A and B are shown apart, each in its own frame.
Chain A
Amino acid sequence: MKAAVIVFPGSNCDRDMKVAIEQSMGSTPAMVWHGDSELPETDLIAIPGGFSYGDYLRCGAIAGNSPIMREVVKKASEGVPVLAVCNGFQIATETGMLPGALLRNANQKFICKDVDLQVVGRNERFVGEFENGQIVRFPVAHHDGNFYADDETLARLEGEGQVAFRYADSDGNVNDATNINGSRNNIAGIYNEAGNILGLMPHPERLISEQLGGTDGKIFFDNLINSLS
Chain B
Amino acid sequence: MTEITKEIVAEHGLSESEYELALEILGRTPNLTELGIFSVMWSEHCSYKSSKKWLKTLPTEAPWVICGPGENAGVIDIGDGQAAIFKMESHNHPSYIEPYQGAATGVGGILRDVFTMGARPIANMNALRFGRPDHPKTRHLVSGVVAGIGGYGNCMGIPTVGGETNFHESYDGNILVNAMTVGLADTDNIFYSAAAGVGNPVVYVGSKTGRDGIHGATMASAEFDDDSEEKRPTVQVGDPFTEKLLLEACLELMATDAIVAIQDMGAAGLTSSSFEMADKGGVGIQLDLDNVPMREEGMTPYEIMLSESQERMLMILKPGREEEARAIFHKWELDFAIIGKVTDTGRMVLTMHGDTVADLPVAPLADSAPEYDRPWVPTERPAPLGADDVAAPADLGATLVQMMGSANIASRKWIWEQYDHMVMGDTIQRPGGDAGVVRIHGTDKALAVTTDCTPRYCYAHPETGGAQAVVETWRNLTATGAKPLAITDCMNFGNPQRPEIMGQFVGCINGMREACVALDYPVVSGNVSLYNETNGTGIFPTPAIGGVGLLEKSEQMMTLAFKGAGETIMVVGETTGEMGQTIYLKEIEGREEGAPPAIDLAKERLNGDFVRSLIHGGDVTACHDIADGGLLVAISEMALAGNVGADLDLGEALPAHVAAFAEDQARYVITVSADNVEAVTEKAKNANVPLQIVGTTGHNEIKVGKSASVSLHDIRSAHTNWLPGLMAAPGSDKE
Contact = CB atoms under 8 A, between A and B. Distances in A.
Contacts of A15: 424-425
A54 interface: yes
Interface stretch (A71-79, A110-118, A153-161, A182-190): A110-118
A61 B612 CA distance: 50
B425 A110 contact: no
B421 interface: yes
B210 to A, nearest CB: 17
B155 A206 contact: no
B156 interface: yes
B294 to A, nearest CB: 21
A139 interface: yes
A56 B240 CA distance: 11
A109 interface: yes
B425 A212 contact: yes
Interface in A1-33: 9-10, 12-13, 15-16, 19-20
B657 interface: no
B341 interface: no
Nearest to B150: A110
A190 B241 CA distance: 28
Contacts of A10: 155, 241, 244-245
B207 interface: no
Interface stretch (B13-21, B412-420, B563-571, B704-712): B412-420
Interface string B231-258: 0000000011110110010000000000
A205 interface: yes
B420 A141 contact: yes
Interface string A36-51: 0000000000000111
Interface string A210-226: 01110000000000000
Contact of A9 (B240, B332, B422): B332
Contacts of A51: 154-155, 157, 240-241, 244
Contacts of A50: 157
B424 A16 contact: yes
A19 B439 CA distance: 14
Contacts of A139: 422
Size category of the binding interface on chain A: 20 to 34
Contacts of A20: 425
Contacts of B156: 12
A143 B420 CA distance: 10
B241 A110 contact: no
Nearest to A7: B248
Nearest to B425: A16
Given A50-B157, A113-B417, A12 B244 contact: yes
Given A51-B244, A110-B418, A111-B418, A212 B428 contact: yes
A104 B154 CA distance: 15
B318 interface: no
Nearest to B557: A211
Interface in B304-353: 332-333
Given A112-B417, A211-B555, A9 B425 contact: no
Contacts of A55: 155, 241
A148 interface: no
Interface in A97-121: 109-113
B427 interface: yes
Nearest to A13: B423
Contacts of A205: 425
Contacts of B151: 110
Contact of A56 (B241, B244, B248, B554): B241
B427 A109 contact: no
B168 interface: no
A205 B439 CA distance: 16
A51 B150 CA distance: 13
A205 B425 CA distance: 8
A137 to B, nearest CB: 13
A80 B554 CA distance: 38
A197 to B, nearest CB: 24
B405 to A, nearest CB: 21
Question: Which of B419, B422, B423, B554 is packed against the most chain A CB atoms within 10 Å?
Answer: B422
7 contacts: A110-B147, A110-B419, A111-B418, A112-B418, A206-B423, A212-B422, A212-B425
Given A50-B157, A110-B154, A139-B422, 19 more contacts: A9-B245, A9-B332, A10-B155, A10-B244, A10-B245, A13-B157, A13-B423, A16-B425, A51-B155, A51-B244, A109-B147, A110-B151, A110-B420, A112-B420, A112-B422, A141-B420, A203-B422, A205-B425, A212-B428
Closest 4 CB pairs of A and B: A12-B157, A54-B241, A16-B425, A51-B155
